[in-house]
Amino acid sequence: MSPVLRVLVTGSDGQLGRALLEKVPDGVEAIATRRAALNLADPEACLRAVALYRPDWVLNAGAYTAVDRAESEPELARAVNASAPAAFAEALESSGGRLLQVSTDFVFDGNQGHPYAPDQPLAPLGVYGATKAEGERLAIERLGPERTCVLRTSWVYGPVGANFCLTMLRLHRQRGETGQPLGVVADQVGCPTATSGLAAACWAAITHNVTGLHHWSDAGAASWYDFAVAIGELGASAGLLQRPADVVPIATSDYPTPARRPAYSLLDCRATRTALDLPPRHWRQALIKVLARMPAPAA
């Protein structure tokens, strides 16, 4: 009988955390920690959790992800996104475990016109991206690349939580009923990533003992405008909307936000797909599956 891998999963009540717990592979014992039980803003709590559970891996799916609010809460964002992975790495260094740190496309500035490779230099534009980049660096410096897996991803959404897909479904319902158009940014390009596929990639990295820098997203490319149009179209087909709103493309300058966002943040995932032995799935096909899991609105 194969030994059981003990994996401490942080942020288990978040959208990625819930998807992870739905997909725990055979031979893995997932130790789920909700935000209330493990405060990632407290490095001492992170150290104690590793000492208590003695995991083979920490899968750090918890994060401070409020991109705009991070500009006014840099200390809290840094505590969660940088100090927590550093603390996990410190604890795991002595316990012998490994760390899977989920990171983001926001560590890049978006100034190149082709997908970012995992080993490219980082140049975050705002506090959120900077704190995630710092978390990557601190974890690798302490634990080493041979015991740290950094898995960067982009535009994460799923059937639960707070994300762009659920927001757009709500706005499609509201605007579709009133006939008001829905303006969505069309000059930022990336790739939506469903939590189900991201969870599968996380578990594959752990079960395959994959370490180092890696990228994971669904396949293809889209602007936020493209994604919003698809949510309306496919949401109507899935019976989630009676009438999608008319989506109007707007420029980033027409929708100012506290945090700057990369204009182009496609991730080159080819090497990671090979390492994890996972085939690509186009983001529209992933979206269809996510929408199929959502209950139809009450009449």
What is the per-residue pLDDT for 1?
A: 45
Q: Residues 6 or more apart from 228 whose CB is under 8 A from it?
A: 164, 168, 182, 184, 247
pLDDT in tens, 177-223: 888 999 999 999 999 999 999 999 999 999 999 999 999 999 999 99
Question: Residue 269: left if φ>0, alpha if ψ -120 to 50, beta else—which one?
Answer: alpha
Whole-number Å distance between alpha carbons of 78 and 66: 12
| Range list of β-strands (E), 5-50 | 5-10, 28-33
162-190: average pLDDT: 94
Tokens of 85: 């992975």
- CATH entry 3.40.50.720 includes domain 5-157+191-219+260-282: yes
Of 64, 128, 225, 264, which is the active-site residue? 128
Active site residue 128: yes
Residue-level pLDDT at 4:
85
pTM reported for the whole predicted model: 0.94
pLDDT, tens only, 107-128: 999 999 899 999 999 999 999 9
Least confidently predicted of 23-37, 137-151, 234-248: 23-37
| Residue 278 one-letter amino acid | L
Q: How many CB atoms lie within 10 A of CB 288?
A: 15
At 3 the pLDDT is 65
